Amino acid sequence: MKDFEHLLEKAVADGVVIGAVVCAKGNVNYSNAFGNRAIRPKAEPMTQDTVFVLASMTKLMTSIAVLQLVERGIVAMDDDIAPLLPVLARQPILTGFKENGTPITKDRKGPITLRHLLTHSVGGSYEFSSGDISQWKKIQGTLGKPGTTVDEVFGHPLLYEPGESWSYGSASDWAGKVVEKLSGLSLEEYMKRHIWAPLGLENITFWPDTNPDMAKRLCSMSIRDTRSGKAVQSRKLIPMTPGAREAFGGQGAYATMGDYTEILNSLLTDDERLLKRETAATMFQPQLSGGPQKALDEAFSNPQWAVGYYPPGAYNWCLGGLLVEGKTEASWRKPGTMLWGGAINSAWFIDRATGVCGVFGSNLLPSADPQIEVLMTGFEEEIYKKAAKERPKTHL
């Protein structure tokens, strides 16, 4: 790992990043911390117990929670769960705007299912990635305004009939509310009982402010200075869900990279502590075809919006994240690899064919920073090189 370590140490010295934590498990076991988690009012070294904002890396845990409920027979993937989400269910489909700016909408006709939510084909989007949603929220006077609940933040029209296209957005946040409705538990309590506790994890939460030990280990937020191009510490932590009064299953959790890697490793090794093998297998199956597949292909024809390295190739979306469905220019990734990232420039991957999983953790904005992408790619390539040298004892 010397080449990668030199790359990241130089990045810290050059101000590309203030600090980072990386972890890998499976046929390669590696973890390391670089730089600092804070540089003012005094320097605090980055350590393995540093707590990071997970942002959209939260989505994988919410997918696991949903699949656990399906596994127990509480709900089916294709049941109409609209009655559980009344605010989402009453949203019309936004088809455009009149010349005077009045929105043009039509009623939704089909069901809303968990499959739609986990594959981002329900019709929702983020305001920052949809001009139509931004325009609608501007008309409503809510553009850029934080909300305290999923209903408040994402209670806006759909862009298409569920199942007819694909758009990355708030679907996992709605899925988290389904978990709460069907389990009778808050999302925090559900995950604590059914995801974190089975793996012995104590460094993941939606509410770090209520845990003094975790709060003091939070990584500071850094931003890319537009003048110098260097990473500088933000004056304060920039929350993904400011003012939230409930857990957001698509973006609201915090964790150490080590604890998060244990979740990845459970899925990698099929240890059945989170999901039965047959259920886990479904998580890695491609879900999109037709219109949704076409929309995803278009989105990843220019993937500069997405955190991570997604060169040209064959992609799909599965029940846990982006799926490498065939060959890509990242030739080391095997088909069946599942991966995704979070807005603060962190990313994870699980490659069950190679037998490795890993996560790159940083806390830097803006999202999809090209300089961080180089470091992420360097980390991933080094893990695969090491996996190739160390003959795996078993094949998954």
Pairing of strands 322-328, 338-342: antiparallel
Q: Closest Cα partner for 85 from 156, 170, 6, 175?
A: 175
Three-state DSSP class for residue 345: coil
Phi, then psi, of 13 in degrees rounded to 5? -65, -35
Three-state DSSP class for residue 19: strand
Q: Which of 56, 130, 220, 346 is the catalytic position?
A: 56
| Distance of alpha carbon 150 from alpha carbon 175, whole angstroms | 10
56 catalytic? Reply is yes
Which amino acid makes up residue 231?
A
* Number of alpha carbons in the 13 Å side-chain half-sphere of residue 259: 26
249: enclosing H helix or E strand: none
Q: Which of 126, 160, 168, 310 is the catalytic position?
A: 168
Pairing of strands 364-365, 222-224: parallel
- In the chain the first and final C-alpha atoms are separated, in Å, by 24
Which residue do the tokens 């260097």 mark? Answer: 230
- Residues 6+ positions from 359 with CB-CB distance below 8 Å: 22, 23, 24, 57, 257, 260, 261, 264, 346, 347, 348, 349
Alpha-carbon separation of residue 92 from 83, 87, 145, 254 (angstroms): 15, 11, 21, 33
99, 150 in Cβ contact below 8 A?
Answer: no
Q: How would DSSP label each residue in 171-182? A: HHHHHHHHHHHH
315 catalytic? Reply is no
126 catalytic? Reply is no
Burial class (CB in 10 A: 0-12, 13-18, 19+), 270: middle
Q: What is the 8-class DSSP label of residue 221? A: P
**What are the catalytic residues?**
56, 59, 168
